Amino acid sequence: MQKSLSVYDSDGSTFAPLVVIELVSETKEEAIAWLLNRVRDKQQDGGAELLVEQLTPGAQGTEKDNPNVYVVGASWQRLLYGAEDVGLFKEFNDGSMRGFTYANKHNFKEFQGDGDGFLSMAECQYIIKHELDNLRAKDEAHVPGYPKMKLYPGKSVIRRMQSKGILVQVFPLHEKEELKRLSFSWFKKIKLSFQPLDDIRHYFGEGMALYFGFLEYFTLALIPMALIGIPYYLFDWEDYDKFTVFAGFNLVWCTVILELWKRLSASLAYGWGTLSRKKAFEEPRPGFHGVLGVNPVTGRAEPLYSNAKRQLRIYLVSVPFVLLCLYLSLYVMMIYFDMEGWALMIHDEEPTFWTGLLLFIPSIIYAVVIEIMNLIYRYAAEFLTGWENHRLESTFQNHLVLKVLVFNFFNCFASLFYIAFVMQDMVLLRQSLATLLITSQILNQIMEAFLPYWLQRRRNKKAHKRMIKTMEDKELPLSEQVKLEADMSTYLGTFDDYLELFLLFGYVSLFSCVYPLAAVLVVLNNVTEVYSDAFKMCKVFKRPFSEPAANIGVWQLAFEAMSVIAVVTNCALIGMSPQVKSYFPESETQLIMWVVGFEHFLLASKFILTFVIPDVPKHIQIKLSRLEFESLEALKKRVTGYMRCTADVTLSETPIRFII
Amino acid sequence: MQKSLSVYDSDGSTFAPLVVIELVSETKEEAIAWLLNRVRDKQQDGGAELLVEQLTPGAQGTEKDNPNVYVVGASWQRLLYGAEDVGLFKEFNDGSMRGFTYANKHNFKEFQGDGDGFLSMAECQYIIKHELDNLRAKDEAHVPGYPKMKLYPGKSVIRRMQSKGILVQVFPLHEKEELKRLSFSWFKKIKLSFQPLDDIRHYFGEGMALYFGFLEYFTLALIPMALIGIPYYLFDWEDYDKFTVFAGFNLVWCTVILELWKRLSASLAYGWGTLSRKKAFEEPRPGFHGVLGVNPVTGRAEPLYSNAKRQLRIYLVSVPFVLLCLYLSLYVMMIYFDMEGWALMIHDEEPTFWTGLLLFIPSIIYAVVIEIMNLIYRYAAEFLTGWENHRLESTFQNHLVLKVLVFNFFNCFASLFYIAFVMQDMVLLRQSLATLLITSQILNQIMEAFLPYWLQRRRNKKAHKRMIKTMEDKELPLSEQVKLEADMSTYLGTFDDYLELFLLFGYVSLFSCVYPLAAVLVVLNNVTEVYSDAFKMCKVFKRPFSEPAANIGVWQLAFEAMSVIAVVTNCALIGMSPQVKSYFPESETQLIMWVVGFEHFLLASKFILTFVIPDVPKHIQIKLSRLEFESLEALKKRVTGYMRCTADVTLSETPIRFII
């Protein structure tokens, strides 16, 4: 817990500020008073029972500063109850992970004395966010002072204010000491070591830690491929025979590493307590709108939106739009091939060093255009998916991921597929693959870390200087720190980071047999990626709320789909190699049959392997079964013997079950 | 409940007998007395708290009759508590399905007055079996009177006595009135109608009802294919063009019906309360043996068997054995082809009607040999899987199913694959397919229903006559009925029935495009199958214990795998058809590329379809979510407000959760 900063509560006691709420500066007084009261109200009165105070402007505060900035904290006991509410899993005395309950708190391993330090600051912030999100309207018809800002019983107050724009942002505060320590062990020391995943999880939450874990795992898994790839480059092994061996190795490798990652991620998630944690019931996402009705599941008043209408929007607008974009991408590809032919023509006419360089220009331009198109499409897809009006954030995300993946896959790899299977020009394929890969890596690094950093620096030069000072060593007053952090860019989640890894995985796996050096480039890229991602998380962005996650979700599926496509493309490339063709000098049909048979065999093995390798390691499976067994046994014990009568008489209305 | 039969309890009251326990006739008195006491003991003393009495031999009892036959029943209240123990789901007042709890009993829909009739007899018998299986040794070192029959705390008494052979059998009694009603609505009336699935479930349990549900669904789903197949036969449509259309239709159909079955089975299982029911913790199977150790999950004393040893047995013995069997099957296939060639030679030399008939003889002999090999292999596989010493019944079943499926698939279809893709003789393929299909259907019907019936009749001619009388109308004393039922054959589960359907599905789907009449034959077979299966369940076999099941388990996977293989074979057959070949007169390579591309497209669509169609229908998904939501809400309510303190003070050792 951050003890250095504290604000005075309304009754004069101090509390540690955890989360900041910023309202627009012209918010009406009555709305503010109402909101603060609701946040402070006792839980039995439907409040959040949190501590909240207005931020008093510091010495350097100017007229321009927004006065409506509030810091939120909570009593220690409130946080512990909140931990039970959100279903946090913690390590029990016997070493297993169990759902935390307040009543049972002393049986948890790290709970000492009054339990100070039991919850990490990220967990406390997550709890507060959860409680704020669950602050629901009672019988108010609208937000006081804003008759147009309709409310109905059960509507999340914070979400309504956010979607109507009075609430600018809610964000958790950074923890200076902790951040300094984390930065040091993460990216400031030069020596080669694993990333401090537990510390990252402690500070940023499980979702982020899993991303960095996956990034590291993916990089390490590529090292054997990179090591095999280097001699190909050094000794100029151009014959396809060796490439074929490489492709075979690659295929097995892809499948195995993805399966092993599932097990590793289950181990990590178990240790972090998110593996067996039950998902909370999902609320409608803030942007969702519709006619007020009754949710059939919760029985609560809630906007409803007809599924048929949504399907119409998806199939009549979104799908045609995506197809149009794919067509455009195809059109751009054709222009690229024209340019390529034109460059080749110039080079052939009068080959000099400069015309040799000119050969690379079309690929580079095309790579830049691809990146730009991806970027524009990304915004379009987000807008369109929002407009489809999905009820849940998870469905929204799935539709967005699907749209973006299909387009990015097509946009990045269509030209390579065309070169490989229509033109069948392996030299051009290698050159094109290398240029695309290198250019997109360079662009990505610029776009992702340096651009936001530079933009922020430009936008806020003075503040930035102060911030750097703050982050380094000097103590700044709370109000200054809050203002600095409020101005930092907002981190939009791991989506783009995973997408980048996904495309890199595609470059490595799809056409690996023609360009074994790809793995080396991706490993180098990933090493710098770790540092630039770590830097941007610690220095460039606002602290994000921690997101409990048990796995990398839909991305596991995306990577597996890519590895299936890789089997098909690599088999086809192997079949097209002169080396393999020479084994079947007479009959091309025979060759194709063999290749197709081999491909089917590989695909079948892949599916059997996925099925045979258990997703959760045995020792964790045993721990999970033990928990389940204990709860079943406890249930049985309750039913037998004397307790029955007691339960029957005193609690006949509300049957109970003992857990643990 | 069966009220007509009752026996006197030791305190003079009567109870309805539900389950029969038969011990060997020379069992020692002290062992019997001990067992009966343990069964009668109160639950807090570690007993099963059931009612049990020795069966007094009836008027016709002879010296030869085994005196150690006991009938078991239970008080009504005990059964209700048992229903909670086994986690039975019942319909709640609000129409949803909820886990039954004794405390909450009056809120369940069909619970009226004292709840008589709330549980079906099959459910009562299942509960009694569960309680008997869970009767565990306390501190006895061995079964009294049998120093070699070792026990240890926590060992299931019944299972030990069964595996050591003192316990001959435990089986539930038939219910004459109910059975008569069920038989009538099921197979005695001639008029065309759906099967009475709810009644079947009521009498035989969910596992059996799902089998009959699947059989009916599968038959109905084949009718469109059969209808399309008939004109092919009538009008002699020999051109492959039409077959290609048929194969395409077939592929889509297979995928769609399997997906829809999942939804239908989820609906059925929801209505029967097995969909969201939690699986009970699985005990080691009776035959499992090993060195006594401590189970890491339960912490109980239990035999342990090293996994490495089991793996050795599997890979060094079972796998080579299976491969050897496959080789043998291949060898037999080659002999068949020799015979086929020989018959053809004779026919070609001097073709008469008789030599024309001779052409079918090799196929018929081969079909019979296949059936015999399947049968022998089935026993070998069961022995081998038992010897592998799997701890759980479910793992045992999975390994058995895998072994049997691989061999049966190979044994039944290898010759067809050979004819289709190596010999490429479509006429022979059609003839061979037809002969195999028809012969195996006829053999199966004989083996499955008529053989056990006839054997039993021969073995027990006198008793049989009495039984028929009993079943028809005359009241027989309880002791007679028990003796009659004890002598009936034991139904070994749905394994063989599903296996038969699986092979039929293979005949229909794998080579459908060369023999569209297959669907017609399978539909006809299934219609008689329904009747013969129903007949054997009601008349030939002992009543089986009901088995709660939420789906058809591993068979769903097996059918889906078959439909994937069907895509591959049908695409290959389409590619080989002269009709399709004529589109690519010049380049065979082009043709193959197109077929392979088309096949990949189909496979991809199949997987996407499986992914897109939800496995549980929306309205049931809503009901399930509502239950989950309510339990989450109840949990939250407990945590908030005043109840916390109460919970904190009085129940700090045992945290509670409210369900409902």
The mean per-residue pLDDT over the stretch B430-440 comes to 88
User: Which of A513 and B657 is assigned the larger pLDDT?
Assistant: A513
- The answer to whether the Cβ–Cβ distance between A655 and B103 falls below 8 Å is yes
What pLDDT is recorded for position A407? 94
Kindly tell me if the per-residue pLDDT of B468 is higher than 60: no
pTM of the model: 0.86
A602: number of Cβ within 10 Å: 19
Q: Which of A297, A315, A392, A592 would you mutate first to test chain B, the one with the most B CBs within 10 A?
A: A297
Residue of B nearest to A77 (CA): B644
The mean per-residue pLDDT over the stretch B453-474 comes to 59
Mind listing the pLDDT tens digit for each residue in B62-81? 556 778 889 999 988 888 88
Contact B229, B543 (CB under 8 A): no
- How far is A436 from A364, CA to CA, in rounded Å? 7
Q: Which of B421, B601, B644 would you mutate first to test chain A, the one with the most A CBs within 10 A?
A: B644
- The answer to whether the Cβ–Cβ distance between B659 and A660 falls below 8 Å is no
Residue of B nearest to A621 (CA): B297
What pLDDT is recorded for position A320? 96
- The answer to whether the Cβ–Cβ distance between A639 and B102 falls below 8 Å is yes
Distance between A650 CA and the closest CA of chain B, angstroms? 10
Highest mean pLDDT among B89-93, B103-107, B596-600: B596-600
- How far is A118 from A105, CA to CA, in rounded Å? 10
Residue of A nearest to B298 (CA): A626
With beta carbons under 8 A apart, name residues in chain B contacting A81: 639-640, 644
Instruction: Determine which of A185-189, A473-477, B343-347, B408-412 has the lowest per-residue pLDDT on average.
Output: A473-477
In which band, very low, low, confident or very high, does the pLDDT at B475 lie, cut at 50, 70 and 90?
Answer: low
Kindly tell me if the per-residue pLDDT of A659 is higher than 50: no
Contacts of A572 (CB under 8 A, 6+ apart): A420, A421, A595, A599
Kindly tell me if the per-residue pLDDT of A655 is higher than 70: no
- How far is B236 from A653, CA to CA, in rounded Å? 71
Kindly tell me if the per-residue pLDDT of B416 is higher than 90: yes
Which of B281, B593, B636 lies closest to A85 in CB terms?
Answer: B636
With beta carbons under 8 A apart, name residues in chain B contacting A640: 43-44, 81
Kindly tell me if the per-residue pLDDT of A314 is higher than 60: yes
With beta carbons under 8 A apart, name residues in chain B contacting A589: 588-589, 592
Instruction: Determine which of A501-515, A625-639, B184-198, B564-578 has the lowest per-residue pLDDT on average.
Output: A625-639
- The answer to whether the Cβ–Cβ distance between B640 and A298 falls below 8 Å is no
Mean pLDDT of chain B: 82
Distance from CA of residue B270 to its chain's centroid?
19
- How far is A466 from A481, CA to CA, in rounded Å? 9
What pLDDT is recorded for position A651? 31
Instruction: Determine which of A592-606, B141-155, B370-384 has the lowest per-residue pLDDT on average.
Output: B141-155
Backbone angles phi, psi at B48, to 5 degrees: -100, -10
DSSP string, B154-182: T-BHHHHHHHTTSEEEEEEPP-HHHHHHH
Q: What is the 3-state secondary structure (H, E, C) of B428-461?
A: HHHHHHHHHHHHHHHHHHHHHHHHHHHHHHHHCH
Distance between A629 CA and the closest CA of chain B, angstroms? 7
Which of A43, A104, A655 lies closest to B641 in CB terms?
Answer: A43
With beta carbons under 8 A apart, name residues in chain A contacting B606: none
Kindly tell me if the per-residue pLDDT of A363 is higher than 70: yes
Give the position of tokens 């796996």.
A509
User: Which of B660 and B337 is assigned the larger pLDDT?
Assistant: B337
Kindly tell me if the per-residue pLDDT of A315 is higher than 50: yes
User: Which of B632 and A216 is assigned the larger pLDDT?
Assistant: A216
Which of B44, B84, B588 lies closest to A641 in CB terms?
Answer: B44
Kindly tell me if the per-residue pLDDT of A175 is higher than 60: yes
Q: Which of B79, B88, B90, B281 would you mutate first to test chain A, the one with the most A CBs within 10 A?
A: B281
With beta carbons under 8 A apart, name residues in chain A contacting B629: 281, 297-298
Distance between B205 CA and the closest CA of chain A, angstroms? 23
Quick one: A16 exposed, middle or buried, by C-beta within 10 A (0-12, 13-18, 19+)?
Answer: buried
Residue of A nearest to B102 (CA): A648
Mean pLDDT of chain A: 82
What pLDDT is recorded for position B58? 56
The mean per-residue pLDDT over the stretch A140-161 comes to 85
Tokens of A71: 């810091």
With beta carbons under 8 A apart, name residues in chain B contacting A624: none
With beta carbons under 8 A apart, name residues in chain A contacting B102: 639, 644, 648
Residue of A nearest to B625 (CA): A297
User: Distances in Å between the alpha carbon of A318 and those of A132, A373, A496, A519?
Assistant: 34, 17, 21, 35
Q: Which of A93, A298, A618, A637 would you mutate first to test chain B, the one with the most B CBs within 10 A?
A: A298
What pLDDT is recorded for position B649? 31
- How far is B531 from B537, CA to CA, in rounded Å? 10
What are the contacts of A636-645 at 24+ separation with CB within 8 A?
A636/B85, A639/B81, A639/B84, A639/B85, A639/B102, A640/B43, A640/B44, A640/B81, A641/B43, A641/B44, A642/B44, A644/B81, A644/B102
A312: number of Cβ within 10 Å: 12
What pLDDT is recorded for position A637? 57
Contacts of A362 (CB under 8 A, 6+ apart): A336, A339, A340, A342, A343
Which residues pair with residue B577 across a beta bridge?
Answer: none
User: Distances in Å between the alpha carbon of B385 and those of A200, B34, B388, B399, B500?
Assistant: 48, 34, 5, 7, 20
- The answer to whether the Cβ–Cβ distance between A655 and B625 falls below 8 Å is no
What pLDDT is recorded for position B2? 41
Distance between A657 CA and the closest CA of chain B, angstroms? 6
Distance between B637 CA and the closest CA of chain A, angstroms? 9
User: Which of A194 and A115 is assigned the larger pLDDT?
Assistant: A194
- Check residue A93 and report its DSSP letter: T
User: Which of B461 and B143 is assigned the larger pLDDT?
Assistant: B143
- How far is B330 from A64, CA to CA, in rounded Å? 88
- How far is A480 from A653, CA to CA, in rounded Å? 54
- How far is B221 from B207, CA to CA, in rounded Å? 21
Tokens of A636: 């049985």
Question: Any idea what the Cα angle at residue A185 is, between residues A183 and A189, rounded to 5°?
Answer: 95
What pLDDT is recorded for position A411? 92
Kindly tell me if the per-residue pLDDT of B596 is higher than 70: yes
In which band, very low, low, confident or very high, does the pLDDT at B653 lie, cut at 50, 70 and 90?
Answer: very low
In which band, very low, low, confident or very high, does the pLDDT at B648 lie, cut at 50, 70 and 90?
Answer: very low
B642: number of Cβ within 10 Å: 8
Nearest of B524, B287, B304, B291 to residue B382 by alpha carbon: B287
Sign of CA dihedral B354, B359, B362, B368: negative
Tokens of A366: 């095309």
Nearest of B127, B105, B118, B121 to residue B17 by alpha carbon: B121
With beta carbons under 8 A apart, name residues in chain B contacting A639: 81, 84-85, 102
Q: Which of A100, A135, A635 would you mutate first to test chain B, the one with the most B CBs within 10 A?
A: A635
Kindly tell me if the per-residue pLDDT of A218 is higher than 60: yes
Give the position of tokens 């009739």.
B117
Residue of B nearest to A78 (CA): B640
Kindly tell me if the per-residue pLDDT of B382 is higher than 60: yes
A106: number of Cβ within 10 Å: 11
The mean per-residue pLDDT over the stretch A329-356 comes to 89
Residue of A nearest to B626 (CA): A297
Kindly tell me if the per-residue pLDDT of A271 is higher than 50: yes
The mean per-residue pLDDT over the stretch B569-581 comes to 83
In which band, very low, low, confident or very high, does the pLDDT at B640 lie, cut at 50, 70 and 90?
Answer: very low
- The answer to whether the Cβ–Cβ distance between A103 and B648 falls below 8 Å is yes
In which band, very low, low, confident or very high, does the pLDDT at B641 lie, cut at 50, 70 and 90?
Answer: very low
- Check residue B513 and report its DSSP letter: G
Contacts of B528 (CB under 8 A, 6+ apart): B445
Which of B81, B626, B648 lies closest to A102 in CB terms?
Answer: B648
With beta carbons under 8 A apart, name residues in chain A contacting B84: 639
What pLDDT is recorded for position A304? 87
Distance between A621 CA and the closest CA of chain B, angstroms? 9
- How far is A599 from A366, CA to CA, in rounded Å? 32
The mean per-residue pLDDT over the stretch B402-430 comes to 90
User: Distances in Å between the alpha carbon of B322 and those of A72, B310, B325, B327, B405?
Assistant: 68, 16, 5, 9, 11
- The answer to whether the Cβ–Cβ distance between B44 and A568 falls below 8 Å is no
The mean per-residue pLDDT over the stretch A9-14 comes to 60
- Does ipTM come in above 0.90? no
Instruction: Determine which of A46-60, B305-319, B340-354 has the lowest per-residue pLDDT on average.
Output: A46-60
What pLDDT is recorded for position B8? 57
Kindly tell me if the per-residue pLDDT of B466 is higher than 70: no
- The answer to whether the Cβ–Cβ distance between A648 and B281 falls below 8 Å is no
Q: Express as a percent the part of chain B with pLDDT over 70.
A: 87
Name the H helices within B350-477: 353-358, 361-387, 393-417, 426-445, 451-459, 461-472
Backbone angles phi, psi at B489, to 5 degrees: -65, 155
Instruction: Determine which of A120-129, B134-143, B631-640 has the lowest per-residue pLDDT on average.
Output: B631-640
- How far is A215 from A222, CA to CA, in rounded Å? 11
Nearest of B81, B87, B73 to residue B17 by alpha carbon: B73
Residue of B nearest to A650 (CA): B103
- The answer to whether the Cβ–Cβ distance between A297 and B85 falls below 8 Å is no
- How far is A76 from A71, CA to CA, in rounded Å? 16
Longest dimension (CA), chain B: 100
Distance between B634 CA and the closest CA of chain A, angstroms? 10
Distance between A37 CA and the closest CA of chain B, angstroms? 18
DSSP 3-state of B255: helix
Kindly tell me if the per-residue pLDDT of B485 is higher than 80: yes
What pLDDT is recorded for position A316? 95
In which band, very low, low, confident or very high, does the pLDDT at B482 lie, cut at 50, 70 and 90?
Answer: confident
Contact B202, B541 (CB under 8 A): no
Which of A592, A625, A639 lies closest to B589 in CB terms?
Answer: A592
Report the amino acid identity of residue A160: R
Instruction: Determine which of A366-370, B103-107, B237-241, B635-639 has the lowest per-residue pLDDT on average.
Output: B635-639
Nearest of A263, A130, A277 to residue A206 by alpha carbon: A277
What pLDDT is recorded for position A609? 86
What pLDDT is recorded for position A511? 83
In which band, very low, low, confident or very high, does the pLDDT at A650 lie, cut at 50, 70 and 90?
Answer: very low
- How far is A252 from A248, CA to CA, in rounded Å? 7
Question: Any idea what the Cα angle at residue A180 is, between residues A177 and A185, rounded to 5°?
Answer: 130
